[in-house]
Copies of this chain bind each other. A is one copy, B any other.
Amino acid sequence: MIFGAVLAGGTGSRMKSAPLPKQFLLLGDKPIILCTLTQFLRNKRFDAVYIAVNGEWLNYFQSLLTQYGVSDPRLRIVAGGSDRNETLMNVIRDIKNTFGEREEDVIITHDAVRPFVSQRLIDQNIDAVLQQVACDTAIPAVDTILSSQDGETVSSIPPRRELFQSQTPQSFPLWQLWELYKALSPQQKAELTDACKIFVLAGKPVRIIQGDVYNLKITTDGDYQIAQAICQSGLWQE
């Protein structure tokens, strides 16, 4: 089966000015989280689409679904965990309980705060992960990347042509991810905040799916303002 998972487990501590976690701010006429979710629900290849929401905001999120008339029999809501991977594991546990396990199951995970995800990106992730290989969406690094140990002085400047800026979706053969994560120590779990890194460190290939410059992550106030500008300008339409 093909599962989608939109992850909104966080509470947006990086956006100082927001009265709400950033995934709930309006983009155009609806909350960011619903813009993103709608893109996933539009894709008919998903057998189920999960949305993981921080436990304190579950009731609020439910009221948004009603208010904006978003409903789909494939939609399942779970509570977020203590970090991103734990949130993902909550989704997988629900899959296990609800749908059981099939060797060929795959999951396409996505940040709730990347609303400008195209159907092309979703489809290319599905196509690739169905070959039972983990996938990460990324664009060639535009900026030169600096490495700094102390954040004040440059330690090294790796060759830019070898660097890519990771976005999402990130997609995984579901039970491979489950087994690899279960095998980690508590310390490794705390360090491996990026699920693709779990595959890389296990020596498993992670395929790069060509991302999209519009597919930005709304993390700061500045990002939010840029996203609103993109939205208002009519630049992004799907």
- Residues from chain B with Cβ under 8 Å of A225 in the complex: 230, 233, 235
* A contacts, CB < 8 Å to B: 136, 138, 140-149, 151-158, 162-167, 194, 196-197, 200, 205-208, 212-214, 217, 219-220, 222-223, 225-226, 228-230, 232-233, 235
Q: Are B208 and A146 in contact (CB under 8 A)?
A: yes
Q: Are A226 and B229 in contact (CB under 8 A)?
A: yes
Contact A145 B166, CB 8 Å, known A151-B208, A233-B225: yes
What is the bound-complex CA distance between A162 and B214, given in angstroms? 25
What is the bound-complex CA distance between A197 and B157, given in angstroms? 6
**Min CB gap A188→B, angstroms:** 14
Task: Name the prevailing secondary structure of the A interface residues.
Answer: mixed
Q: Are B141 and A145 in contact (CB under 8 A)?
A: yes
What is the bound-complex CA distance between A153 and B196, given in angstroms? 11
Q: Are B143 and A147 in contact (CB under 8 A)?
A: no
Closest B residue to A170 by beta carbon equals: B144
- Residues from chain B with Cβ under 8 Å of A142 in the complex: 217, 219, 223
Q: Are A226 and B220 in contact (CB under 8 A)?
A: no
What is the bound-complex CA distance between A152 and B155, given in angstroms? 27
Q: Are A156 and B219 in contact (CB under 8 A)?
A: no
What is the bound-complex CA distance between A164 and B153, given in angstroms? 11
- Residues from chain B with Cβ under 8 Å of A223 in the complex: 142, 213
Q: Which of B143, B167, B212, B229 contacts A232 (CB 8 A)?
A: B229
Q: Are A153 and B213 in contact (CB under 8 A)?
A: no
Contact A147 B162, CB 8 Å, known A154-B200, A200-B156, A222-B213: yes
